[in-house]
Amino acid sequence: MTDSSFQLKGSVVTTVLLEIQTLSRQNIIAQLKEKIAQVPHFFNQAPIIVDLSKVEQEVPFNEFESLVDSLNGLGLGVIGWRCAQENKPLWSADVTIPLLPASKTRPIHVPEPIREASSPDVVVKTVVEERLVPQSTKIISKPIRSGQQVYAEGDLIILAQVSAGAEVLADGNIHVYGALRGRALAGVKGNLDARIFCKSMEAELVSIAGNFMLMDALQKMVWKDAAQVLLVDDSLEIIPL
């Protein structure tokens, strides 16, 4: 059986786009479980869209249904699906979940964390909607609790802690004048000069313009100390403050 290959894409509203290139349900689920294990809070109860646009072979209806059931079994809620208009399967009218139009989104590459083993067959991408909006600074004075998500169109300044399981995103810089225990994604629309500053680095994930680093790597560099995160030559650097 041909190995499956797909891409995961997440938007600023934490909707996951499962872009499938070769349909092989067992391989897709196995690789998806690996991704979920890396950042479980990111995918917890996340709405998911299945995209079949790049699948060249015919997709059997029972295989598609089985894939949807498996995704729901992982705690992901399938809210819709997409396919190329010219390759729309004959059974499309029988599917209970809605067929969605093409998305007007822009992907930002998120490379895989460095591993000793061979590279996996999946690539994670952050996707943000194209919007023309004025840049502004958002200031939050209260702690960001687990499960909360805060997004700023410019810089984001948080005068308290970011709890584990929370997510903060900004088109510009992120400043956390407390412990950063959740996920922080700066420059989500591709700003390579964006930075993340925090009083205590305890993050589950940090990201600049789609380039990310997970907790296990952060613990080996700067942990529970004041730090800044910046992008240098397409690689993240963590510098003590």
Give the residue-averaged pLDDT of 102-126: 40
Residue 51 corresponds to which amino acid?
D
Helix (H) or strand (E) holding 239: strand 235-240
- For residue 229, the model assigns a pLDDT of 94
Confidence of residue 132 (pLDDT cuts 50, 70, 90): very low
Q: Token pair for residue 232?
A: 């240098």
Question: What is the rounded CA–CA span in Å between residue 18 and residue 21?
Answer: 10
Q: Are 181 and 163 in contact (CB under 8 A)?
A: yes
- For residue 4, the model assigns a pLDDT of 44
Give all strands (DSSP E) within 111-170, no chain letters.
122-129, 138-140, 149-152, 156-158, 167-170
Residue closest to 54 by CA, chosen among 7, 95, 107: 7
User: What is the topology classification, in CATH, of domain 132-240?
Assistant: Pectate Lyase C-like (2.160.20)
- For residue 102, the model assigns a pLDDT of 61
Residue closest to 61 by CA, chosen among 84, 89, 81: 89
Pick the CATH number of 5-128 from 3.40.33.10, 3.40.50.720, 3.20.20.70, 3.30.70.260: 3.30.70.260
Give the residue-averaged pLDDT of 72-87: 78
Q: Could you tell me the pTM of the whole model?
A: 0.51
Burial of 136 (0-12, 13-18, 19+ CB in 10 A): exposed
Q: Where in the sequence of the chain do the CATH 3.30.70.260 domains occur?
A: 5-128
Confidence of residue 199 (pLDDT cuts 50, 70, 90): very high
Q: Where in the sequence of the chain do the CATH 2.160.20.70 domains occur?
A: 132-240
Give the residue-averaged pLDDT of 151-159: 91
